[in-house]
A and B are shown apart, each in its own frame.
Chain A
Amino acid sequence: MTEPTVEPFDPPEQVSPKAQTIDGMLPAPAGLFDSTVEAGLEFKARSQWSYARRRFLRHRLAMAGLVGLIIIFGSGIFANFIAPYSYSAIDLNNILHPPTTTAHHFFGTDEIGRDYFSRVIWGIRTSEEVGLFVAAVSSLIGLCVGAAAGYYGGWVDNLLMRLTDLVLTLPALAILLTAAALLGQGSQWRVSIILALFFWTGIARVVRGIFLSLREKEYVEAAKASGANDMRIMFRHILPNTLGPIIVNGTIAVAAAIITEAALSFLGFGIQPPTPSLGVLVAGGQTNPQQWWLTVFPGLTIVVIVLCVNFMGDGLRDALDPTQRRVRA
Chain B
Amino acid sequence: MLTYIARRILYSIPVMFLSTFLSFVFVSYAGNPVGNLRNNPKISQNTLELVIKHNHLDRSVPVRYWFWLQDVVTHKLGNSLLTFQPIWPDITRTIGHTAQVIIISETLAIILGIAVGIFSAIRQYSVFDYLFTSVSFLGYAMPVFWFALLLQVLFVNIYLKWHVRIFYTSGLNTPGKGTWSLDRLQHIALPIMTLLVISFALYSRYMRASMLDVINSDYVRTARAKGVSEWRVIMRHVFRNALIPVVTIAALNLGGLLGGAIITETIFTLDGIGYYFIQSLQGSDYYAVMAYLVVTSVIIILFNLIADIIYGYLDPRIRYD
Q: Do chains A and B touch in the complex (CB under 8 A)?
A: yes
Interface residues of A (CB under 8 A from B): 165-166, 168-175, 177-179, 181-183, 255, 259, 262-263, 266-269, 279, 282, 285-286, 289-290, 292, 295-296, 299, 302-303, 306-307, 310-311, 325, 327, 329
When distances are taken between beta carbons in the complex, the residues of chain B under 8 Å from A172 are 255-256, 259
CB distance from A294 to the nearest CB of B (A): 9
When distances are taken between beta carbons in the complex, the residues of chain A under 8 Å from B138 are 303, 307
With A169-B304, A170-B293 known, 6 other A-B pairs at CB within 8 A are: A169-B300, A178-B281, A181-B281, A263-B145, A285-B149, A310-B141
- Beyond A182-B30, A183-B30, whether A169 also contacts B141 by CB under 8 A is no
CB distance from B273 to the nearest CB of A (A): 10
Binary flags per residue of B257-280, CB closer than 8 Å to A gives 1, else 0: 011101100110000000001100
Q: How far is the CA of A289 from the CA of B297 in the complex (A)?
A: 35
Q: Are B255 and A292 in contact (CB under 8 A)?
A: no
Binary flags per residue of B190-213, CB closer than 8 Å to A gives 1, else 0: 000000000000000100110011
Q: How far is the CA of A243 from the CA of B171 in the complex (A)?
A: 49
* CB under 8 Å from chain A, chain B span 145-159: 145-146, 149-150, 152-153, 156-157
Q: Are A178 and B289 in contact (CB under 8 A)?
A: yes
Q: Name the residue in B133, B149, B263 with the highest tally of chain A Cβ atoms < 10 Å from its Cβ.
A: B149
* CB under 8 Å from chain A, chain B span 50-93: none
Contact of B15 among A166, A263, A282, A290 (CB under 8 A): A166
Q: Is B27 an interface residue when CB atoms closer than 8 A count as contact?
A: yes
Q: How far is the CA of A192 from the CA of B287 in the complex (A)?
A: 26
- Beyond A174-B262, A310-B137, whether A169 also contacts B301 by CB under 8 A is yes
When distances are taken between beta carbons in the complex, the residues of chain A under 8 Å from B213 are 325, 327
Q: Are A302 and B19 in contact (CB under 8 A)?
A: no
The 6 tightest CB contacts between A and B, nearest first, are A173-B259, A299-B146, A306-B141, A182-B30, A171-B296, A307-B141
Q: Is B216 an interface residue when CB atoms closer than 8 A count as contact?
A: yes
Q: Name the residue in A178, A179, A255, A279 with the highest tally of chain B Cβ atoms < 10 Å from its Cβ.
A: A178
Q: How far is the CA of A295 from the CA of B301 in the complex (A)?
A: 36
Q: Are A290 and B146 in contact (CB under 8 A)?
A: no
Q: Is B168 an interface residue when CB atoms closer than 8 A count as contact?
A: no
Interface residues of B (CB under 8 A from A): 15, 18-19, 22-23, 26-27, 30-31, 133, 137-138, 140-146, 149-150, 152-153, 156-157, 160, 205, 208-209, 212-213, 216, 252, 255-256, 258-260, 262-263, 266-267, 277-278, 281-282, 289, 292-293, 296-297, 300-301, 304
Query: Who on chain A is nearest to B134 by CB?
Result: A329
Query: Who on chain B is nearest to A180 by CB?
Result: B281
- Beyond A303-B141, A310-B140, whether A179 also contacts B292 by CB under 8 A is no
- Beyond A165-B15, A169-B297, whether A296 also contacts B140 by CB under 8 A is no
- Beyond A170-B255, A174-B293, whether A295 also contacts B153 by CB under 8 A is yes
Main SS at interface, chain B: helix
Contact of B300 among A170, A263, A268, A307 (CB under 8 A): A170
CB distance from B118 to the nearest CB of A (A): 14
19 A-B pairs, CB-CB below 8 angstroms?
Answer: A165-B15, A166-B18, A171-B297, A175-B23, A175-B26, A178-B281, A178-B293, A182-B30, A267-B262, A289-B153, A292-B153, A292-B157, A303-B142, A303-B143, A310-B140, A310-B141, A327-B212, A329-B133, A329-B137
When distances are taken between beta carbons in the complex, the residues of chain A under 8 Å from B31 are 182
Q: Are B297 and A299 in contact (CB under 8 A)?
A: no
Q: Are A174 and B296 in contact (CB under 8 A)?
A: yes
Query: Who on chain B is nearest to A309 by CB?
Result: B141
CB distance from A160 to the nearest CB of B (A): 15
When distances are taken between beta carbons in the complex, the residues of chain B under 8 Å from A175 are 23, 26, 293
Q: Are B281 and A177 in contact (CB under 8 A)?
A: yes
Q: How far is the CA of A311 from the CA of B266 in the complex (A)?
A: 31
When distances are taken between beta carbons in the complex, the residues of chain A under 8 Å from B262 are 173-174, 177, 267
CB distance from B16 to the nearest CB of A (A): 9
- Beyond A177-B281, A295-B149, A329-B133, whether A166 also contacts B22 by CB under 8 A is yes
When distances are taken between beta carbons in the complex, the residues of chain A under 8 Å from B149 are 282, 285-286, 295, 299
Query: Who on chain B is nearest to A304 by CB?
Result: B141
Query: Who on chain B is nearest to A259 by CB?
Result: B143
CB distance from B144 to the nearest CB of A (A): 7
Q: Are B278 and A267 in contact (CB under 8 A)?
A: yes
When distances are taken between beta carbons in the complex, the residues of chain B under 8 Å from A173 are 255-256, 258-260, 262-263
Q: Are A169 and B140 in contact (CB under 8 A)?
A: no
Q: How far is the CA of A279 from the CA of B149 in the complex (A)?
A: 12
CB distance from B224 to the nearest CB of A (A): 18
When distances are taken between beta carbons in the complex, the residues of chain A under 8 Å from B18 are 166
Q: Are A178 and B141 in contact (CB under 8 A)?
A: no
Q: Are A170 and B23 in contact (CB under 8 A)?
A: yes
Contact of A263 among B156, B205, B263 (CB under 8 A): B263
Query: Who on chain B is nearest to A176 by CB?
Result: B259
When distances are taken between beta carbons in the complex, the residues of chain B under 8 Å from A268 are 282
CB distance from B192 to the nearest CB of A (A): 19
- Beyond A166-B19, A178-B27, A295-B150, whether A171 also contacts B157 by CB under 8 A is no
Query: Who on chain A is nearest to B252 by CB?
Result: A168
Contact of B150 among A171, A255, A296 (CB under 8 A): A296
When distances are taken between beta carbons in the complex, the residues of chain B under 8 Å from A279 are 145
Q: How far is the CA of A175 from the CA of B22 in the complex (A)?
A: 11
Q: Are B293 and A327 in contact (CB under 8 A)?
A: no
CB distance from B253 to the nearest CB of A (A): 11
Q: Are B281 and A269 in contact (CB under 8 A)?
A: yes
When distances are taken between beta carbons in the complex, the residues of chain B under 8 Å from A182 are 27, 30-31
Q: Are A169 and B15 in contact (CB under 8 A)?
A: yes
Query: Who on chain B is nearest to A258 by CB?
Result: B143
- Beyond A174-B258, A179-B30, whether A327 also contacts B150 by CB under 8 A is no
